[in-house]
Chains A and B, each alone.
Chain A
Amino acid sequence: MVIPPKFAYQPARDLAHAFQLLAQGGGEAKILAGGQSLIPLMRFRLASPAALIDLNRVPGLAYIIENGDLRIGALTREYELETDAVIRTRYPILAETAAVIADPLVRNLATVGGNLAHADPANDHPATMLALRASVVARSAKGERVIPIDELFVDTFQTSLRPDEILTEIRIPRRGPKTGGAYLKLERKVGDFAIAGVAAYLVLDDRGNVKSAGIGLTNVGSTAIRAKKAEAALVGNAPDDKAIAAAAAAASAESQPTGDLRGPAEYKRDVVRVLTSRAIRSAVARAKGGS
């Protein structure tokens, strides 16, 4: 039997209460959202927080609202992203990302905010959020600040969130016309982390050329990686075979995989190349087709 270390359980009534508990915890308390990464880490004794501040009883942290930009409450469960009508029809890249996270049982509890705040480079939302140019709202007793996603991931399991802050919302620029995205993940089996994953999000102009591009990479570095050179290879060009091949090669070069039991680094780099190419093609098709 694998039993987590002792901790004090502190259910927060509301955010103000959570901030107060965080302050009392003096850096030794952790936020408990879906718990699907944190509880296994505690069972393996890789994490032993003195206290867990449970957000699950805080009302108003789970929502999906498209009113101007798209706003997703941090406590929104992955299954909600998978099944929500707005997400499925307007932001299929998000439904696609949620649908390949862990397995359906885990997705019934796992949250999108937790997936980002945990900052595991193997998690799937970070790459997609990089491609989407998302930002996150960090709230504390002192107020709130909006952190661009490019500034959130500092290192493996490390974010730029301050010790007194809680990630409460994800904001995604409203999807305009001729916009499409896709997330592709190669995994050995359901429930495993990605060998590699690639998110692509494209906006085309009236002539069908790429107006803006977002490419994010999963599990091929110490954080999720935004493949800026791959993006640059697309912007201003028609998304033809040549441009897509150049972008895929650039993403492969920008990846920083290490060899492990999921394969050697060279293999993973090539997986990034192939997935980038496919994700761009799918994003282009969606941008043109409007779905």
Chain B
Amino acid sequence: MAEKMYPITLTVNGEKKEAQVEARMLLVHFLREQLSMTGTHIGCDTTSCGACTIILDGRPVKSCTVFAVQADGRSLRTVEGLEQDSKLHAIQDGFHQEHGLQCGFCTPGMMMTTVALLERNAAPTELEIRQAISGNLCRCTGYVNIVKAVQHASAAMLAAKTAKTAAPATAEPVAAGRG
């Protein structure tokens, strides 16, 4: 018997998507297999590692622990949506500048968690950063450079905001400016 398909409409990185999914399809599988958006990783398959973190209606969640059908009518953001107009997001630049990764497998999840953090708290303390990423496991770095990457992004985003306020007519999004 063919499995029942459920129609869903959702917004992914600002784009409207319509699809048919099985009830049991997890959101991460939907992203990777049906939308071919493989930036969101599957690390542990057990709701432990946070590699699959995406932002669902403004809050970072593990996309391996949500059914795709539950995302019907909702808005989500993935790592693919960070770069805008060929410019890296400040968090991507931060991970680059501070070498916030080694193998890179946890990085998409780390970035989605910390983008959500910085949107809520523009200048988090080191403790707040460490608490925010406590559901994202990295087995390479020891987290030191990840924390620095987030601090780098925080400073860049604050500087960009200040520049914008000071000179709104000429302000460039400096957050992503590298060299």
Q: Which residues from B are CB-within-8-Å of A2?
A: 45-46
A103-B50 in contact (CB<8A): yes
Most chain B beta-carbon neighbours within 10 Å: one of A4, A9, A40, A102 = A9
Q: For the complex, give the distance between the alpha carbons of A191 and B69 in Å.
A: 26
- From A6, A56, A79, A102, B23 is in contact (CB under 8 Å) with A6
Classify chain A: how many residues form its interface, as a range: 20 to 34
Q: For the complex, give the distance between the alpha carbons of A252 and B22 in Å.
A: 48
B131-A104 in contact (CB<8A): yes
Q: Which residues from A are CB-within-8-Å of B46?
A: 2, 40, 43-44
Any B CB within 8 A of the CB of A3 = yes
A6-B3 in contact (CB<8A): yes
User: Considering only CB atoms, which chain A residue lies closest to B130 in the complex?
Assistant: A190
A106-B59 in contact (CB<8A): no
Any B CB within 8 A of the CB of A35 = yes
CB distance from B48 to the nearest CB of A (A): 6
CB distance from B32 to the nearest CB of A (A): 10
User: Considering only CB atoms, which chain B residue lies closest to A83 in the complex?
Assistant: B120
User: Considering only CB atoms, which chain A residue lies closest to B63 in the complex?
Assistant: A105
Q: For the complex, give the distance between the alpha carbons of A6 and B3 in Å.
A: 8
Most chain B beta-carbon neighbours within 10 Å: one of A4, A56, A105, A109 = A105
Q: Which residues from B are CB-within-8-Å of A32?
A: 70
Q: Which residues from A are CB-within-8-Å of B66?
A: 35, 39, 109
Q: For the complex, give the distance between the alpha carbons of A222 and B114 in Å.
A: 38
Q: Which residues from B are CB-within-8-Å of A1?
A: 29, 42, 45
Q: Which residues from B are CB-within-8-Å of A56?
A: 70
B134-A39 in contact (CB<8A): no
Q: For the complex, give the distance between the alpha carbons of A180 and B4 in Å.
A: 52
Q: For the complex, give the distance between the alpha carbons of A191 and B61 in Å.
A: 14
Any A CB within 8 A of the CB of B78 = no
B61-A108 in contact (CB<8A): yes
Any B CB within 8 A of the CB of A256 = no
Q: Tell me which residues from 124 to 147 in chain B have a Cβ below 8 Å from any Cβ of chain A.
A: 131-132, 134-136
User: Considering only CB atoms, which chain B residue lies closest to A37 in the complex?
Assistant: B47
User: Can you sample 11 A-B contacts with CB below 8 Å?
Assistant: A1-B42, A3-B26, A5-B24, A6-B22, A40-B46, A56-B70, A79-B59, A104-B134, A108-B61, A109-B66, A190-B135
Chain B residues packing against A (C-beta within 8 Å): 3-4, 6, 22-24, 26, 29, 42, 45-48, 50, 53, 56, 59-62, 65-67, 69-70, 113, 131-132, 134-136
Chain A residues packing against B (C-beta within 8 Å): 1-9, 32, 35-36, 39-40, 42-44, 52, 54, 56, 79, 102-106, 108-109, 190-191
Q: Which 5 pairs from chain A and chain B are nearest by CB?
A: A103-B135, A9-B23, A105-B135, A190-B134, A108-B59
